[in-house]
Amino acid sequence: MLAAALLLAAEEAKKTVNPILPVTEEIVWAAASFFLLWMLMRYVFLAPVMRVMDDREGRLREARAEADSASSGADDAVAAYNARVDVARAEANGIVAAARDEAERYRARKLAEANAEIQAQREAAAAEVAAAKATALAQLRTQVAGVAVSAASRVVQKDLALEAQLQVIEDYVNGSNEGGTR
Amino acid sequence: MIIGALQFPPIENVVEWPAWFGEGQAYAFNKIAFINLLASIITIVIFAIAGSKKQLVPRGVQNIAEVSVQFVRNEVIAPGIGHGGERYLPMLLSMFFFLFFSNITGIIPLFNMPATARMATPIVLALLAWVWFIGVGLKHHGIHYITGALFPPGVPKPLYLLVTPIEFVSTFLVRPFSLAVRLFANMLAGHILLVTFSVLCITLWGFKPLVAALPLSLFMLIALTGFEVLVAFLQAYIFTILTAVYIGGALHPEH
């Protein structure tokens, strides 16, 4: 009776499922499936994918290097262009400066010529004025001496020799002028 | 189990699957084994097709494979292992795909069961991760990896009485179980939720007085199905990145 009860209990326990505990055959298949996958991935199937990815990476790296190189070449071309522009600009500035100097020299020359001409004209005019002035003074002096001699003749009631008196006056004036400048 | 008008299937009907062949043998093949095998085959097919295409601009399957490789490289290996982690790419990539396809079958009609809702798949991968990170530590640092982990430098000697057992349990015992249980529990919970709302929908459909509640139950079922897509991806990612972190810790214990 007891043996039968124990047998029944054992059978019942065998039937009772513990959902937590792992089952041997599932462990075997899980391990086999995973190891199969792992080995095939490691030695067969992952390498081609990695190779494609590495190739692409390499191509991208090369393309990037080429792009950098092209960019560097473009920078060099821009630098050369800028250098040529600078040279041309410097040349143009030189030409402009030379032209400006030439114009300045031309202007100075013309100005000097004009000033010289004005000076010459001024001197000629001054000489002419001085000559006219001297002539006028001489005439005035003669007329004044004549009036003075005539007045003196009337004062002394005697004809005075005009020429001699004029010489006297001339000498006086000259002497007075010399004394005045002394 | 019957609750009111609802008749929930017994737990063994929800998670246990009969053998298709080899009943009673260690090689008995059931639905869970089929899902595991299918997860491997789908991954292999994806990478076989991707590897045969050499398009400069990847499309379709090639794009999926390359994006997943980039994802594991940038989001798992780089933060988890860092320098020198590239050599673990085949294992971590296989792990991610294997877990994702084993998870996602939970919402695919006719399958309706994630293989990871059974403990076998999580425990196999968790034990592999455990063996792997300890092996990496021993390979790169010898016995100093174990002593360094159990006796962290800078700790006052008397404290080793407390620290060493904690480090031993947390580093060498708990890790594989936490990995396995986290994945298993999340997937089993999601599976049971989907079963629950499916049963509820069927019951409400046949129970006229409460048929008005059917749209709500159906909405929950659809929402949870969408949520399970996220969970399938997230759990695969978490398991893989934790494995990477453990390997990284063994490779660079000074960090």
Residue A21 scores a pLDDT above 90: no
Quote the minimal CA–CA distance from A14 to chain B in Å: 13
CA distances from A39 to A33, B37, B76 (A): 10, 14, 20
Residue A173 in this model has a pLDDT that exceeds 80: no
Q: Does A53 touch chain B (CB under 8 A)?
A: yes
- Report yes or no: B52 and A51 within 8 Å, Cβ to Cβ: no
Q: Testing the interface with B: which of A18, A51, A52 to mutate, by most B Cβ within 10 A?
A: A52
Q: Give pLDDT, residue A174.
A: 75
pLDDT digits (tens, 9 = 90+) for B140-180: 999 999 998 899 888 888 899 999 999 999 989 999 999 99
pLDDT of residue B246: 95
User: How distant, in Å, are the alpha carbons of A33, B39, B45, B105, B191 from that of B42?
Assistant: 11, 5, 5, 12, 22
Q: Is B3 helix (H, G, I), strand (E, B) or coil?
A: strand
- Cα B237 to chain centroid distance, Å, stands at 8
Positive or negative CA dihedral for B78, B82, B85, B88? negative
The rounded distance, in Å, linking the Cα atoms of B46 and B87 is 21
Q: What is the average pLDDT value for chain B, to the nearest integer?
A: 91
- Say yes or no: A47 contacts chain B, CB-CB below 8 A: yes
Domain residue limits, chain A: 30-181
Q: How many CB pairs under 8 A join A and B?
A: 128
Structure tokens at A1: 């009776």
Q: Which of B12, B48, B120 sits opposite A45 (nearest CB)?
A: B48
Domain locations along chain B: 2-251
* Contact between residue B26 and residue A24 where contact means Cβ atoms under 8 Å apart: yes
User: Is B54 in Cβ contact with A55 (below 8 Å)?
Assistant: yes
* Of A19, A41, A55, Cβ closest to residue B47: A41
Q: Tell me the one-letter amino acid at A162.
A: L
- Looking at residue A154, its pLDDT comes to 84
Q: At what angle do helices B175-206 and B214-251 cross, to 10 degrees?
A: 170
Count Cβ atoms below 10 Å from residue B74 Cβ, excluding itself: 10
- Which band of pLDDT confidence, cut at 50, 70 and 90, is reported for residue A182? very low
Reported ipTM: the value is: 0.91
pLDDT tens digits for range B180-236? 999 999 999 999 999 999 999 988 888 888 888 899 999 999 999 999 999 999 999
Residue pair B244/B80 in contact by the 8 Å Cβ criterion: yes
Q: What is the pLDDT of residue B13?
A: 78
**CA-based nearest distance A53→chain B, Å:** 7
* DSSP annotation string for B168-220: IIIIIIIHHHHHHHHHHHHHHHHHHHHHHHHHHHHHHHH-GGGGGGHHHHHHH
Q: What's the pLDDT tens digit per position in A5-16?
A: 555 555 655 556
Euclidean distance between CA atoms A109 and A106, whole angstroms:
5
Does A1 score more than 50 pLDDT? no
Q: What end-to-end distance do the CA atoms of chain A give, in Å?
A: 182
Residue type, A115: N
Rg (CA), chain A: 67
Residue of B nearest to A37 (CA): B40
Q: Whole-number mean pLDDT of chain A? A: 85
Closest CA to B99 of B179, B163, B176, B21: B179
Token pair 């076989």 is found at B48
* Residue B32, token pair as written in the block: 């869970």
Please give the structure tokens belonging to residue B90: 């085949």
Note whether A28 contacts B27, CB cutoff 8 Å: yes
Q: Which of A139-143, B66-70, B72-76 has the lowest mean pLDDT?
A: A139-143
Q: What percentage of residues in chain A have a pLDDT greater than 90? A: 54
Which of B40, B66, B69 lies closest to A36 in CB terms? B40
| Closest alpha carbon to A40 in B46, B63, B20 | B46
pLDDT of residue B1: 54
Beta bridge partners of A179: none
The pTM assigned to this predicted structure is: 0.72
Q: What one-character DSSP code corresponds to residue B7?
A: E
Sign of the Cα torsion B38, B43, B46, B48 reads: negative
Is residue A165 within 8 Å of residue A145, measured between CB atoms?
Answer: yes
Minimal Cα–Cα distance from A63 to chain B, Å? 13
Q: Which alpha helices (H) appear in chain B, and where do they start and end?
A: 11-15, 31-52, 60-71, 78-80, 89-104, 120-141, 143-150, 160-167, 175-206, 214-251
- Torsion (CA) A134, A140, A145, A151 in degrees, nearest 10: -170
Structure tokens at B224: 């949870």
**Nearest neighbour of A31 by CB, restricted to B32, B124, B188:** B124
Give percent of chain B above pLDDT 70: 97
Residue A168 confidence (pLDDT): 79
Determine the average pLDDT of the residues in B122-151.
93
Helices (H) and strands (E) in chain B, counts: 10, 2
- Residue B156 CB neighbours (<10 A): 7
Chain A residues touching residue B27 (CB < 8 angstroms)? 25, 28-29
Give the separation between CA B232 and CA B97, rounded to whole angstroms: 11
Pairing assessment for the beta strands B2-3 and B6-7 based on DSSP bridges: antiparallel
